[in-house]
Every structure is written in structure tokens, then in C-alpha cells.
Amino acid sequence: MQWFKELKPAERHAFVAAFGGWALDALDFMVFTFVISTLITLWGIDRGQAGMLGTVTLLFSAVGGWCAGILADRYGRVRVLQFTILWFSVCTVLIGFSQNFTQIFVLRALQGLGFGGEWAVGSVLMGEIVRSEFRGRAVGTVQSGWAIGWALAALLYGLAFSLLPEQVAWRSLFWFGVLPALLVLYVRRKVPEPAIFAETQRLRATRTVRFTEIFAPDLLRTTALASLLCTGVQGGYYAITTWLPTFLKSERHLSVLGTSGYLAVVILGSFLGYLGGAWLTDRFGRRANLIVFALLSGASLYLYTQLPLSDTLMLVLGFPLGFAASGIFSGLGAYLTELYPSRVRASGQGFAYNFGRGIGALFPTLVGYLSERGGLGMAIGVFAGGAYLVVILTVLLLPETRGRELHGWD
């Protein structure tokens, strides 16, 4: 983290805002994973309905990410970032007051719009403000905020359910969603619009720009490949993290999965994976970083599904699993920023990343259907392994962008 000391004040403020926003988004998003069993018990919903509450947020986040990107290209990165944070925060708090499945379903969908938008806009803001020599490390390190938010969600869950009745405890976790709103005050006071955006706006006054330019002949190949890349990264992640615990518990009969020790190992692995990926993407390049982490994720998947694991070995392997599956995200933000010209950067990045999220959100369902025919381990291997193969193939077809300077129009 020596590089952090070399950041200019504007770069540092943008980093703090993006890191804090992503960590608090993770906190608000991940608390749901801890209260699913409580909702099933209290409201009598089935697992299919519970799964819909998770999927709808991811699907709407795909829409929110692209819409926020379009707005950010038009009205500014900082302004739209503040709006997405407030939107996400308000929807999360309201979930804590919901009274039935329909209400929480609608609010989770609306929450997804802000969730997708925050990453898309924050990543572009960071990519445009931070200099090229630090861009990969800065944008990648912001991703580590997810592990911090995840850990905070776990701690608050333990605290709330030990001090409050179950009927109130789950609601209180969503009420903590007010915290991201406080971050808006910091963004308004400290974070400027990137100079690149200001230059682009001056040129926009004399030229016509439409967000559909990302599908124009000169950018269509980039958009298609970037979208496939993001589908592979996120589809592999969702297929593994959603079904692997069930596979290990139901087919391998391992008992350590539900322990706080296993969760702590995975979260620690995720945090260090984000930091490792952030360093590697600047050290060896965007393409090499993504290929290395795709191979590591595939290797972790193979070990989990093919080796006869004991509880102790599975606990140890939780670290490389978290490291690989999360670390692959670190190089993605800077890479997408550098692939698109400034006039449609947020639109392109928002579409590619959230197209991948929307398609990737379907992977857990597809794994479930395929597992009924060939077994859960085989189904996870087909979809997750196939996803990381897509990552490698698309990276080989995309250009290397490390060190690319960003300009106000092209």
C-alpha cells in the first residue's frame, strides 16, 4: 500500500469515497444472506421464493448499472454516484419495515438498481481520476471493500441476534442501511468531477453522442468481448459461491461449513485476493492478471469437487477459494475503464459489467437444473469451469491496456 501515500488529494478522496461506498453496499447486500433462514421460518416462504429474493436484486442491478452509466456520461460521475448511494440506502432501510413477501421482493428489486449503479459509476470515477501508474491498484483495492462489508455484516448479524428478539433482529440489520447515506456528505465536500469528464462535456456541446455508440461498428467488438468477459467472471463466482457449500454439506457430509471459522477463512482469503489482484494487474498487466486468477479459480474448483476432503482440509482450502474467486474482480474495473473512450466510458463499462451480472445471476438456477441429471459436483464444474474458460478466451481476444492514458474524448 506504499502507492497510496503517493496519491494526490483528489485521487485519495475519490478512493475513500469509492471504497467506503462499495464496503457499505456489501454490508447492506450481504445481510440478506444471513437472514434468509429467519425469513423462511417467520414468514413461511419456501426456498424457491427465498432464491427469487436474491436473484431479483442481481437482475435489477444489471439494469441499474447500465442506466447509471448512461446518466454518468451525461450528468457527471460524482452527481450520479451520490444518487445511487442514496437510492440504495433508502431501499435497504425500507426493507427493514416490510411486512410480507411481495413488499420485500419489490424493495429488493429497487435496491438492485442502486447496487448496480454504485459500482459502475464509482469504478469509472476512480479510473478517470487516478493516474495510469496507480489505476489498477487503486481500482482493484476498492474491490476489497466488499470483503470488509461482508465481515461487518457477519459481525452485526451475530450482535443483533444475540441482543434482540428474532422478529426485530433481522429488521435491525437492514436499518443499518442508513450508513451509506452519510457517505454522500463526504462525496459532496471532497470528491471533484474528473478533469477528463469536464473536457468531454465541452466537446459534447459541439458533437452528438448517444449511449448506443457502444454498439457502433468501431466499439461493437469491444462491447461484445467485454460483456462475455464479465459474464465469465461473475457466472463462475455465482455458480461456485451459491452451490459449493450445498455440495460439500449434502454430498460430502462436511460439518464445518456453518461455522464462523470457515466464514472467517473465506472472507480473509477474499480480502487478500482483492489486494493481490490489484497489485498483479499493475505489475503484470490486465490480461495476465485475469488469466492467472481464472486458472486459480478453476484449480480451486477442481480441488473442492474431486478431492476427498476432511473438515480440516476443507477449512484450509477455504482460503484459496476466497482468494481466487474474489481476486479475479480486482483487475476488471481498470480494464473496462481503459477499453472505452471517455464519451461513452460509463455507458460501456456499466453495460458490459452488468450484462455479465445479469447472465451470471442465471448460473445458480442452471446449475440446479443440471444437477438433477448428472449430480451437483458435475453441474458446478460444467458451469463454473466453462465460465472461467470463457474468461481466458475473451482476454486473449482483447488488447492489453496497462499504462494507457485516458483523454477527454477518444
Contacts of 81 (CB under 8 A, 6+ apart): 17, 21, 72, 118, 121, 122, 125, 187, 191
Please state, in angstroms and rounded to a whole number, the distance separating the CA atoms of residues 97 and 229: 38
Q: Is 64 within 8 Å of 114 (Cβ atoms)?
A: yes
Output 333 or 395, whichever has higher pLDDT. Answer: 395
Output 49 or 279, whichever has higher pLDDT. Answer: 279
pLDDT value for 263: 74
Map out the domains of the chain as residue ranges.
9-188, 216-400
Residue pLDDT, tens place only, 119-161: 788 888 888 888 888 888 888 888 888 888 888 888 888 888 8
User: In CATH terms, are 9-188 and 216-400 the same topology?
Assistant: yes
pTM for the complete prediction? 0.82
Mean pLDDT of 289-310: 85
Please state, in angstroms and rounded to a whole number, the distance separating the CA atoms of residues 344 and 407: 12
pLDDT value for 40: 79
* Nearest to 233, CA basis, from 389, 1, 106: 389
Q: What is the identity of the amino acid at 37?
A: S
| 264, pLDDT greater than 90 | no
Q: Is 337 within 8 Å of 38 (Cβ atoms)?
A: no
pLDDT value for 77: 86
What CATH number does domain 216-400 carry, 1.20.1250.20, 1.10.287.1080, 3.40.50.300, 1.10.645.10? 1.20.1250.20
Span of 15-19, 159-163, 173-177, 209-213 with lowest mean pLDDT: 209-213
Q: Which CATH class is domain 9-188?
A: mainly alpha
Find cell 474524448 and name the residue.
Answer: 409
For the chain, the average pLDDT equals: 84
Please state, in angstroms and rounded to a whole number, the distance separating the CA atoms of residues 51 and 216: 37
State in Å, rounded, how far the first CA of the chain is from the last one: 31
